Amino acid sequence: MTMSEQHELIYESVRRFSREQLAPGAARREHEKAIEPEIFKAMGELGLLGMTVSPGYDGAGSDYVGYALALMAVAEGDGAVSTVMSVHNAPFCAILERYGSDRQKDDVLRPAARGEFIGAFALTESHAGSDASAIRTRARRVGSDFVINGSKQFITSGEIGRYVIVFAVTNPDDPKRGISAFLVPTDAPGYSVIKIEAKLGQKASDTCSLNFDDLVVPEGALIGELNDGYRIALSSLEAGRIGIAAQSVGMAQAALDHAIGYAADRTAFGKILLDHQALNFRLVDARTQLEAARQLVLSAAHLKDSGKASLEQACMAKLFASETAERVCSIALQTLGGYGYVEDYPVERIYRDARVCQIYEGTSDIQRIIIGRSLTANCL
Which residues are part of the catalytic machinery? 361
Virtual torsion, Cα 203, 205, 211, 217, nearest 10 deg: 170
Q: How far apart are CA 151 and CA 65, in angstroms?
A: 35
Q: How far apart are CA 92 and CA 120, in angstroms?
A: 6
153, 162 Cβ separation under 8 angstroms: no
Task: Look up residue 273 and give its amino acid.
Answer: L
252, 325 Cβ separation under 8 angstroms: yes
1, 64 Cβ separation under 8 angstroms: no
Closest by Cα among 102, 51, 139, 75 to 290: 75
Helix axis angle for 347-355 and 311-336, nearest 10°, is 150
Q: How far apart are CA 102 and CA 9, in angstroms?
A: 33
| Distance, first Cα to last Cα, the chain | 32
Ordered alpha helix ranges (H), the chain:
5-17, 26-32, 37-46, 64-77, 79-87, 94-99, 102-104, 110-113, 229-235, 237-265, 277-305, 311-336, 347-355, 364-379
